[in-house]
């Protein structure tokens, strides 16, 4: 018989808009099922150190629309060790947790799998602006980040146009080009450089700009995903090379953490609320070691290991259409 009485919820890894909506959903759906819910603070750090708040329906009032995470988040090295996981399971026992919901990215899910294997049933909810969870079409925070990036690039375009310049804009995505590919199309970029696709700087950027100039193009936008710049040429060096080799005055902008903040979009609030509710449906039955995910518009779930081994492809059409339309 399932004796689930008390569950915890935590946010881990980089924060993402919509995490608060997911926390609210877990807390209220849990209370609705007669469960006690603890809000574990600062991700796995809080689980190691026993930092938590007892949550009530009121402790998640007025957070649905706010960015960041009221529980705070962390990247916790100690938890990655076997001793760390053991210590976390012991703390969970001490504070009486029967199950846990972890809202975070792939790293956080590896931790969730370790906890499940060590005896604490744990369910993961994908929350990351990178949209880089292979088993889920969508991750909480992606849509809001896209809108933030788009708004910033629209502003960069205004000044670009006034000065007949080229802009190189670096967007987030540790190893993934989803943000770059989507805003590349929505902002009319001339070149979109992502880690998933080989690029030839000379042909795809320099030559494209030079040919554009010949066709009368006066402003240029190059979008590059962070995942490319860390192993290759930086956005700043790209800008220098473009200016030197094409003669077009060029500036680089690294958008940085502005992309992680802000009020979540409708999509992020709705997906987060559905996923939080769904996670409680699993954990209340004592079902752990699962990742909640989206498949099209449906909410589904996978075994964590199976989910982590799944992969999804960046839609190559996005890049192709961007290139054709940027003439």
Ligand X SMILES: Nc1ncnc2c1ncn2[C@@H]1O[C@H](COP(=O)(O)OP(=O)(O)OP(=O)(O)O)[C@@H](O)[C@H]1O
Ligand Y SMILES: O=P(O)(O)OC[C@H]1O[C@](O)(CO)[C@@H](O)[C@@H]1O
What are the catalytic residues? 130
Tell me how far apart the alpha carbons of residues 5 and 58 are, in angstroms, rounded to a whole number.
Answer: 20
Which residues between 64 and 123 bind ligand X (CB under 6 A)? 75-76, 79-80, 104-108, 110-111, 114
- Angle 142-163/178-186 helices, nearest 10 degrees? 50
Q: Which of 45, 129, 271, 314 binds ligand Y (CB under 6 A)?
A: 129
Q: What is the dihedral of CA 188, 191, 197, 199, to 10 degrees?
A: 180
Q: Which of 11, 12, 116, 128 binds ligand Y (CB under 6 A)?
A: 128
Min CB(285)–Mg ion separation in Å: 28
In total, the chain counts a number of residues equal to: 327
Q: From ligand X, ligand Y, Mg ion, none, which one binds at residue 79 (CB under 5 to 8 Å depending on kind)?
A: ligand X
Q: From Mg ion, ligand X, ligand Y, none, which one binds at residue 80 (CB under 5 to 8 Å depending on kind)?
A: ligand X
Tell me how far apart the alpha carbons of residues 11 and 51 are, in angstroms, rounded to a whole number.
Answer: 13
Min CB(69)–ligand X separation in Å: 12
Min CB(279)–ligand X separation in Å: 16
- 294 part of the interface to ligand X, by CB under 6 A: no
- 128 part of the interface to ligand X, by CB under 6 A: yes
In the complex, the residues that contact Mg ion under the rule CB under 5 A are 105-107
In the complex, the residues that contact ligand Y under the rule CB under 6 A are 13-14, 128-130, 172-174, 226, 260
In the complex, the residues that contact ligand X under the rule CB under 6 A are 12-14, 44, 75-76, 79-80, 104-108, 110-111, 114, 128, 130, 174
């Amino acid at each position: 018989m399932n004796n689930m009485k008390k569950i915890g919820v935590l946010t881990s890894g980089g924060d993402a808009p919509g995490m608060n909506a997911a926390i609210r959903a877990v807390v209220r759906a849990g209370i609705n099922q007669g469960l006690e819910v603890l809000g574990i603070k600062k991700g796995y750090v809080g689980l190691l150190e026993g930092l938590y708040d007892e949550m009530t329906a009121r402790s998640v009032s007025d957070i649905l629309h706010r960015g960041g995470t009221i529980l705070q988040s962390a990247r916790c090295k100690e938890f990655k060790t076997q001793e760390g996981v053991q210590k976390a399971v012991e703390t969970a026992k001490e504070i009486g947790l029967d199950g846990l919901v972890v809202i975070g990215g792939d790293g956080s899910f590896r931790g969730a799998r370790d906890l499940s294997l060590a005896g604490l049933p744990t369910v993961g909810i994908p929350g990351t602006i990178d949209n880089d969870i292979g088993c889920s079409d969508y991750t909480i925070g992606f849509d809001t980040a896209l809108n933030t990036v788009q708004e910033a690039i629209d502003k960069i375009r205004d000044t670009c146009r006034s000065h007949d310049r080229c802009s190189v804009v670096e967007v987030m995505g540790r190893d993934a080009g989803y943000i770059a590919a989507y805003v590349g199309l929505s902002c009319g970029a001339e070149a979109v450089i992502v880690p998933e696709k080989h690029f030839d700087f000379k042909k795809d950027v320099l030559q494209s700009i030079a040919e554009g100039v010949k066709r009368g193009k006066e402003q240029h936008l190059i979008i590059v995903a962070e995942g490319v710049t860390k192993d290759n040429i930086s956005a700043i060096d790209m800008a220098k090379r473009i200016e030197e080799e094409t003669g077009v005055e060029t500036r680089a902008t690294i958008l940085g953490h502005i992309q992680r903040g802000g009020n979540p979009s409708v999509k992020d609030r709705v997906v987060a609320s559905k996923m939080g509710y769904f996670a409680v449906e699993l954990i209340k039955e004592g079902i752990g070691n699962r990742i909640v995910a989206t498949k099209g518009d449906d909410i589904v779930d996978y075994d964590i290991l199976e989910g982590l081994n799944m992969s999804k492809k960046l839609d190559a059409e996005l890049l192709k259409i961007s290139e054709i339309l940027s003439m």
